Copies of this chain bind each other. A is one copy, B any other.
Amino acid sequence: MAKKFINDPQNILIETLEGLVAAYHGRMELVEGVAALAKTEIPDGKVALLIGGGSGHEPLFHGFVGENMADGAACGDFFTSPSPDVILAATKAIHRGNGVLYVYGNYAGDNMNFDIAAELAEDQNIDVKTVRIWDDVYSAPPGEIEMRRGISGDIFVVKVAGAAAATLKTLDDVYRVTTKARDNTRSIGVAAAPGTNPVTGSAFFELAEDEIEIGMGVHGEPGVSREKMIPVDALVTRLMDDILADLPFQSGDRVCLLINSLGSTTVTEMLIINRRVREILIKRDIAVHDTQIGHFAGSQEMAGFSISLMKLDAELQEYYDMPCDSLGLTKQ
């Protein structure tokens, strides 16, 4: 059992959110009575962006509320999607008369709860559209892309959605751009050691001393194969083959690159991974427009990493390049 710096495990979510609000210095507040956050200054008539999902993956999701990022977040308990009333309360808190875009990872629980909330919001004359993120290449074959999970590609989609929602005038337009960002984003991940559930104290899964699991999800969902640990250059080569083939990314493409730690994998390791990723992209004649390296979407102290690529066109690049400010991602 990992030693965690927490108080009563039952209070993790609310204490996390209070700590987050404190870090925003008045720019964000709790939505009354539920585990949800909203920016304090959202202009009238703005298309509002709501994100959300289970907690335990911090800074994902609620750490991506901020300037030119999401307007609010609906937060579930540990690794559990938020319930419709939380989502609805957050929706009402950020709605400014011009519709709300829901953006979240494609998990059965999230899908159903956000859908129910969307129906309840529509009952109250709030326009809602939804973009589910399904970037995890290993979680289903290309023909069943709507069965794929959302992992660290979430960050790119939320980044673009936040910029689009700050700029564009209609929900339909923001929806269109966000959908394009989603469709142009792919991720792959690998785990080397489990995290522990801070509520129960038990490990998410077991892996032998010398084993890694390719494609394991951020809640410990199984991936495509369990293999022996190999030098990271060889591992990255194999992962890159799979991600590049999927969209596919092609010679002449321009991409944003994100290398994400699932928890205890260090910046040192991510830099070594980045080195190899770039060697491979250079060989494939794929240009990298921007690189983000850090802890964006974790699974407690799981050891492992994920790589996300978003293929840019002029429009996506414009929104990607806008400055933004949030706990999880700040860009000048």
Contact = CB atoms under 8 A, between A and B. Distances in A.
Interface residues of A, number: 68
A164 interface: no
A272 B19 contact: yes
Interface in A245-300: 261, 263-276, 278, 288, 290-291, 293-295, 298, 300
Contacts of A151: none
A191 B84 CA distance: 39
Nearest to A268: B58
Contacts of A295: 261, 267, 294-295
A2 interface: yes
A261 to B, nearest CB: 8
A185 B22 CA distance: 21
A64 to B, nearest CB: 12
Given A58-B266, A266-B300, A293-B23, A231 B272 contact: no
Contact of A274 (B1, B22, B67, B293): B22
Interface string A13-53: 00111111011010000000000000000000000000000
Contacts of A261: 295
A4 B7 CA distance: 30
Interface in A121-170: none
A244 interface: no
A232 B274 contact: no
B5 A305 contact: yes
Interface stretch (A96-104, A112-120, A173-181, A323-331): A323-331
* Number of copies of this chain that the complex holds: 2
A276 B198 CA distance: 18
A39 B4 CA distance: 39
Contacts of A301: 264-266, 301, 303
Contacts of A89: none
A192 B5 contact: yes
A332 interface: yes
A76 interface: no
Given A3-B209, A3-B212, 17 more contacts: A2-B264, A3-B192, A3-B193, A4-B266, A6-B272, A7-B232, A16-B272, A19-B272, A19-B275, A22-B274, A23-B271, A67-B332, A266-B298, A266-B300, A268-B300, A294-B294, A332-B332
14 contacts: A3-B193, A3-B229, A15-B272, A16-B275, A17-B271, A55-B268, A58-B266, A58-B268, A263-B266, A264-B301, A267-B295, A301-B303, A323-B332, A325-B332
